[in-house]
Amino acid sequence: MNPTPQVERLRALQQQALGHLARGRADLARPLVAELQRAAPADPAVRQMVLYVEAIGVQWAAEREPYTPRPAEAPHGGLDVVSFHVDLPRAPSGIHGQIDYTTVLAQSFESARLRAPNARTMLLTDEATRVPDGIDEVVREPIDRNRLMYERMRAQSRYLERRDRARAAVLMDSDVVVNLDPAAIFAEDFDVGLTWRTGLPDAPFNGGMIFVAPGEAGARFFAEAIRCYDAIADDAARKGLFPQDLRAWWGDQFALAAMVGYREFGERATEGIRVNGVRVRFFPCETHNFTMEGGNHAIATLKQKYFIHFKGNRKAMQAQYLDAMRSGRL
């Protein structure tokens, strides 16, 4: 059956609203989403768009101006590959199955030793989580397991405060394979590098892969991001909209986007922006934080990816990928 004119009109409204949201224009999308909500209040896609509008509508006060990243001398102070993980009784996302993260971590750090042998590996964790052998440094601190994403950002911030300012850092999820030596990423003039993706207008940056160049600017950015995170998570109006505490899941990515500015990113003309003087560089997930999907991927294509991210229930593919790395096929 052909859709009715009303259905066609609602679809057109949805696409128009999504276009506005992709550019960070919650102000333009809000009346369109309100009309969709009146027409189909129980539709899951409409409810999701309401959440998009509320997240993208956050405006965090900061001085912002675009900048164009340029080549720079690669740092010589060393590189840290830093992962965060805490064992949980169940996945906080509510959609992922149980995973043997000790093995996942071991595979991730093994890939770092294979591809970035000069890097120092580090794990940020709590006082009880089981960890694999072979990690250069394990930092154990009290962690509130009910606020995992918030605690991750806080642990990363503490690490940046105490690190040797001459060292560069890759802050990554535990389910990431280091596919190329990341040292070359830092041969540019940036302070913080965020990896961006399409399809999630409220969370354009993936918090599972962040690059922090040498210096003190990265620590300043993270300290401000935590203040932004607190403001978003404590907002009474938003608490009633989202299905769970934003400190448990997703809120870190909202904070990163609000720090950069949704509209500033969505309507950008360059791949960098200064936020309160901190140079934030935008790297595409396609090359710097690639997610393995089903199907075959050409080896020549995979060899061009800096990091392979085995999100969610893709962890079995991570073991297969490590086998290929060990054998020399990748």
Q: Examine the domain organization and report whether 129 and 88 are in the same domain.
A: yes
Residue range of the domain that includes 19: 5-57
Could you identify the residue written with the tokens 């990091």? 307
Same domain for 38 and 148? no
Residues 160-215: pLDDT tens digits? 999 999 999 999 999 999 999 999 999 999 999 999 999 999 999 999 999 999 99
CATH number for the domain that contains residue 156: 3.90.550.10
- Whether 205 contacts 254, CB under 8 Å: no
pLDDT confidence of residue 116: 97
Q: Which stretches in the chain have pLDDT values below 50?
A: 96
44 and 152 fall within a common domain: no
pLDDT, averaged across the chain = 94
pLDDT at site 92: 53
Cβ neighbors of 147 (< 8 A, separation 6 or more) are: 245, 247, 248
Provide the whole-model pTM: 0.95
**Domain identity same for 122 and 239:** yes
* Whether residue 231 sits in one domain with residue 162: yes
Whether residue 45 is found in the same domain as residue 171: no
Q: Based on the domain organization, do 153 and 49 belong to the same domain? A: no
Q: Are residues 309 and 250 in the same domain?
A: yes
Are residues 21 and 84 part of one domain? no
Residue 74 token pair: 């690669």
Question: In Å, what is the CA distance from 329 to each residue of 110, 299, 300, 316, 323?
Answer: 16, 8, 11, 18, 9
Quick one: 101 and 52 in the same domain?
no
What is the distance of C-alpha 117 from the center of its chain? 25
d(CA 29, CA 50) in angstroms, rounded, equals 10
- In this structure, the answer to whether residues 93 and 179 fall within a common structural domain is yes
Domain count within the chain: 2
Residue 72 and residue 41 share a domain: no
CB 306 within 8 A of CB 185: yes
The pLDDT, as a whole number, for residue 5 is 83
Tell me what pLDDT residue 297 has. Answer: 85
